[in-house]
Amino acid sequence: ALIDKGNHRHFMQKEIYEQPIVVAQTLRSYLQRLEGKVALPIPDFDLSGIKRVTIVACGTSFYAGMVAKYWFEQFARVPVDLDVASEFRYRAPVMEPGGLMIVISQSGETADTLAALRHAKNEGQTIAAVVNVPTSSMAREADLLLPTHAGPEIGVASTKAFTCQLSVLAALAANLAKAKGRLSADEEKQIVRHLAEAPAAINGALAYDEAIEGMAGAVAGARDVLYLGRGTDYPLALEGALKLKEISYIHAEGYAAGEMKHGPIALIDEHVPVIVIAPSGPLFEKTVSNMQEVQARGGKVILISDYDGIEAAGDGCIATITMPKVHPLIAPIVYAVPVQLLAYHVAVAKGTDVDQPRNLAKSVTVE
Ligand code: AGP
């Protein structure tokens, strides 16, 4: 079928809007919803013996892997080693026999990630590939293919592939936890229920699109932008900064909120918009106190949280973005959306080539 933009102005916008459907599509193949069970598409793959996981990827796919590290360690209590692919094989990584290596890639062709896969395979690792292109090199060379069903992604800035990667990785974390005997039947049902809520929650996030468009002006004039988050919102902060850099050419940095006072707070003044990603939950208060340190130095904060979070801490922010209240497991999938929309609208406001930003290729097939 011909791939067109439909009634969207850019592929990126179209792909952002496809997320409720493609995330649902992806989750469907990893969940037995009616029975409330998690299930890998390859049923005979035994995860119970896995002692260590190595995750390797580049760019946005790397940030999906970083979220997954939090999940695998929290739910399955399996240690995770995480690396960008261009560093991995040059640092003489230690891989124990019986380890699982997960590569994450939209294209399945990224040169560094493919080389990392081959390196780990030589070292006796079992390779699982979370890829969007089922005919790609990584899909073919992996022992276990864990497809994302995002459909073709045309925009250079990855959006729907990211939320689909997160969906697969959340399901995989749950499978691993189950295989390790860390999930009761009841907890498994709960996880399936929460994951199944993701597509509707993404729709709720998309409903904020117009309001986010209205905020774009406040960011478009900035020279530098900072993104802050804790826990799984830290990789989201990194992803937000990457998205903004790629398509709007504004310098942006993602930081763990607690690291602010170890350096980057020196950058804060009234010219630096600071995007704070903080769903209400156990880490909320801590992130808010970092946010207040920013505000005390004149920093202009845009707070992304849920209704309770905005109620508690929204005063004093230049803008707030209200997300539906969701379980922490699906929060990264939902909070990715406002981060994508903000980058998109800022780029549109600046008049850049959103789908084809300068100097970038959709798939990086050279080292
Ligand atoms: C994301 O917006 C980027 N264009 C880029 O970082 C991308 O995620 C990276 O090149 C990895 O690509 P892959 O997922 O196809 O391996």
**% of the chain surpassing 70 pLDDT:** 99
Q: What is the average per-residue pLDDT within 68-89?
A: 96
Q: Which own/partner pairs from 189-193 qualify as long-range (CB within 8 Å, at least 24 positions apart)?
A: 189/36, 189/37, 191/38, 191/329, 192/31, 192/32, 192/33, 192/36, 192/37, 192/38, 193/36
Q: What is the average per-residue pLDDT within 336-347?
A: 98
d(CA 226, CA 105): 26
CA of 289 to the centre of ligand 1 (A): 33
CA of 322 to the centre of ligand 1 (A): 28
For residue 2, what pLDDT band results from cuts at 50, 70 and 90?
A: low
- Model confidence pLDDT, tens digit, residues 31-48: 998 899 998 887 778 899
Write down the mean pLDDT value for the chain. Answer: 95
Q: Judge if the beta carbon of residue 105 lies within 6 A of ligand 1.
A: yes
Q: Judge if the beta carbon of residue 60 lies within 6 A of ligand 1.
A: yes
Q: What is the average per-residue pLDDT within 234-239?
A: 98
d(CA 17, CA 8): 9
pLDDT of residue 34: 87
Burial class (CB in 10 A: 0-12, 13-18, 19+), 57: buried
Query: Is a pLDDT exceeding 90 seen at residue 367?
Result: no
User: H helices within the chain, ranges in order?
Assistant: 11-17, 19-28, 59-71, 85-88, 111-122, 137-141, 160-179, 185-196, 198-206, 209-220, 233-248, 284-296, 307-313, 331-350
For residue 334, what pLDDT band results from cuts at 50, 70 and 90?
A: very high
pLDDT of residue 42: 79
Q: Judge if the beta carbon of residue 113 lies within 6 A of ligand 1.
A: yes
Q: Is the pTM of this model over 0.95?
A: yes
Specify the length of the chain in residues.
Answer: 367
Q: Whose CA is nearest to atom 7 of ligand 1?
A: 59
Lowest average pLDDT, out of 144-153, 246-255, 258-267, goes to: 258-267
| Interacting residues of 296 by C-beta distance below 8 A, sequence separation 6+ | none
Q: Judge if the beta carbon of residue 107 lies within 6 A of ligand 1.
A: yes
pLDDT of residue 40: 85
Q: Tell me which residue of 330, 45, 341 sits closest to 167, measured CA to CA.
A: 330
- Model confidence pLDDT, tens digit, residues 97-106: 889 999 999 9
CA of 344 to the centre of ligand 1 (A): 16
Grouping H, G, I as helix, E, B as strand and the rest as coil, residue 83 is strand
Q: Judge if the beta carbon of residue 61 lies within 6 A of ligand 1.
A: yes
Q: Whose CA is nearest to atom 6 of ligand 1?
A: 59
Query: Is a pLDDT exceeding 70 seen at residue 331?
Result: yes
d(CA 332, CA 254): 15
Query: Is a pLDDT exceeding 70 seen at residue 203?
Result: yes
pLDDT of residue 96: 86
Q: Whose CA is nearest to atom 9 of ligand 1?
A: 59
Name the residues annotated as catalytic. 362
Which of 12, 83, 110 is the pocket-test mutation for ligand 1 (most atoms within 8 Å of CB)? 110
CA of 238 to the centre of ligand 1 (A): 13
d(CA 170, CA 72): 8
pLDDT of residue 97: 85
Q: Judge if the beta carbon of residue 147 lies within 6 A of ligand 1.
A: no
pLDDT of residue 45: 83
Q: What is the average per-residue pLDDT within 265-275?
A: 93
For residue 358, what pLDDT band results from cuts at 50, 70 and 90?
A: confident
Structure tokens at 127: 């390779």
- Model confidence pLDDT, tens digit, residues 144-196: 999 999 999 999 999 999 999 999 999 999 999 999 999 999 999 999 999 99
pLDDT of residue 122: 94
- On whether ipTM exceeds 0.85, the answer is yes
Query: Is a pLDDT exceeding 70 seen at residue 1?
Result: no
**Which residue in the block uniquely carries the two structure tokens 């799984």?**
232
Q: Judge if the beta carbon of residue 248 lies within 6 A of ligand 1.
A: no
Structure tokens at 186: 């009841």
Strands 224-229 and 126-131 come out as: unpaired
